[in-house]
Amino acid sequence: MKSIWNWPKLLLKVCLFCMASQSSFGQSDNYWSWNSNTHSTLLAGAVVGGLSGPSSIFYNPALINHENLPSLSVSANLLSFQFYKVENLAGDNLNADDFLFKVQPRFISYVLPTANKRLGIQFALMSPSSESIAYAAQYETELDLIKRTAGLETYNGYLSYNRQFDDTWGGVGISYELSDRLYVGSSMFVSYKSMDLVSFQSAEAFQMSDSVSVGDNLHPRYISTSGSEEDFSYWYYSAIFKIGLQYTLKNERLSLGLNMTMPNIPLYGEADVRKRFYRSNIYDNTTGDFVTNENTLGVQEQSSVRVKSPFSVAFGGAYYFKKKTNVLLFTAEYFSPVDAYNLVDSDQQADWLPGPVDQNLTEQSFMTYSSRARPVTNLAIGYKNVISEKLAFLGGVRTDFTNGNQEDKRYVDGNFGVNQIHMNKWHISSGFLVEIGRFKVLTGLQYTYARAQDVLQATNYTDPVEYNPISGRSLDGTRERAASAALNELTLFFGLSISGK
């Protein structure tokens, strides 16, 4: 009989499968949107105190391989349906929405067999963060926007946005049994992050005829335009260390766990930035003359980049009821703040920037990107019910509060920030575990609910002005905190573990 532990060939096949299915994510500002293994996800991540299974290397390395059995685990998002909508984003009743369907692998781990029963060793490759967003909004109408000409103009506003982010971790973890009730552990990961953000915004007004009437004279037709383009991408390597403890009380009914994640250590990365701001044929009715045509373009390639992650500490517990067929789990994790810092540094100056942009930048280093994060505490509750020797129910709920401020949507500490809408999320999950011989099969669903109110509009196409000399706006209106965002996501998970017993 052939052993299933022909690990080099098996791991190679699984890794090739993982790399062949590329997934796209968005810059994450919700720490607990992260998922690793299906088992821990269905328990809402409330596994720091126990029952973390193959995801111990991530949630609490002290829990690695308490059974001292070699095993291979593979988990995936089989299907994910995401519905995203922002109301009033580009003006009154001018909404943007997105529907995303994706299929992707998420987690692969292998627990090594060891001669020392007190020692556990695990390797893992995972993609813990998964977000993506892309939308567009367009508005077209006829109105008398250009006052110096007689007649109506065709007015068109267009907004396009696409942000993708990928965070992949590969690492090794080790645990050691100090006594029958006390375990310690540590894990080290190398994280590879990559992000692509492309944003385009434009407005134009023009008459369809070959010439326009100005007073009693005919003038050649012209098109008034105003807009911006933004393209920001980076890739970044860093190292992440975790330290874990787990203690079980004498009655073995309660186990407690602690897991600390250190701030990431920078290794290397590069960023490419391109920005453009422009306007042409904009007339200032207060002076009776055209304002200067402008075109500011900045390009910065292969710049150094720094992406910081916070220190966090998680505390959790697992309480076993008398017959041990029911387990109640809880976890709380605190993430420290990250003070404002520069993702990308630049001293490139701009000859001209639109008034609303210039007013929000403290220095004219318009190619610089900054970031920061608020302190966040998240809570999770999980529940496991052993229905029979071969079947168990898993479920849970967790908070997932954003580390961003709504006012940080576009600018951070006088610099550009990564443009995104910050939302608080809640995750509800449930599913089943089935044991078939050496195999453990898990499947279940997770529903994610998120909302944001009083969001600052990206632009205002429904109430445009030709030119406002005070604010410097042209061909759009004053942005208001009148937008709101909603996210509903349903994900089907699947996991498979093969043990060596």
Q: Where does the pLDDT of residue 104 fall: very low under 50, low under 70, confident under 90, or very high at 90 and above?
A: low
9 pLDDT higher than 60: no
Torsion of CA 451, 454, 459, 462, to 10 degrees: 100
Predicted confidence at residue 215, as pLDDT, reads 84
* pLDDT tens profile 136-170: 999 999 999 999 999 999 999 999 999 998 899 99
Residue 3 lies in a domain: no
345, 303 in Cβ contact below 8 A? yes
From 269-273, 363-367, 384-388, the region with the lowest mean pLDDT: 363-367
84 pLDDT higher than 60: yes
Angle (nearest 5°) at CA 365 between 373 and 30? 20
Residue 236 lies in a domain: yes
List residues bridging with 370 in a β-sheet: 342, 417
501 pLDDT higher than 60: no
Instruction: Summarize the confidence of residues 1-11 as an average pLDDT.
Output: 38
CA–CA distance, 384 with 174 (Å, rounded to integer): 26
For the chain, give the mean pLDDT.
89
From 65-74, 202-211, 281-290, the region with the lowest mean pLDDT: 65-74
* pLDDT tens profile 305-345: 999 999 999 999 999 998 888 999 999 999 999 999 999 99
Total of domains in the chain: 1
Q: Which domain holds residue 158?
A: 21-499
3 pLDDT higher than 60: no
Task: Find where tokens 């000399």 sit.
Answer: 469
Candidates 134, 147, 124, 23; CA nearest to 72 is: 124
Predicted confidence at residue 13, as pLDDT, reads 38
Predicted confidence at residue 128, as pLDDT, reads 82
From 34-43, 163-172, 259-268, 277-286, the region with the lowest mean pLDDT: 34-43
Predicted confidence at residue 206, as pLDDT, reads 96
CATH number at residue 467: 2.40.160.60
200-236 core/surface letters (b: 16 or more CB in 10 A; e: else): bbbbbbbbeeeebeeeeeeeeebebbbbbbbebbbbb
Predicted confidence at residue 199, as pLDDT, reads 95
464 pLDDT higher than 60: yes
Residue 14 lies in a domain: no
* pLDDT tens profile 195-238: 999 999 999 999 988 889 998 898 899 999 999 999 999 999 99
Q: Where does the pLDDT of residue 500 fall: very low under 50, low under 70, confident under 90, or very high at 90 and above?
A: low
* pLDDT tens profile 15-48: 333 333 333 333 468 899 877 788 999 999 999 9
In terms of DSSP bridges, do strands 153-177 and 132-143 run parallel, antiparallel, or are they unpaired?
A: antiparallel
Residue 12 lies in a domain: no
CA–CA distance, 298 with 350 (Å, rounded to integer): 8
Candidates 73, 184, 80; CA nearest to 125 is: 73
Residue 5 lies in a domain: no
Residue 8 lies in a domain: no
CB atoms within 10 A of CB 349: 12
- Give DSSP secondary structure letters for 467-494: --TTT---SB----S-EEEEEEEEEEEE
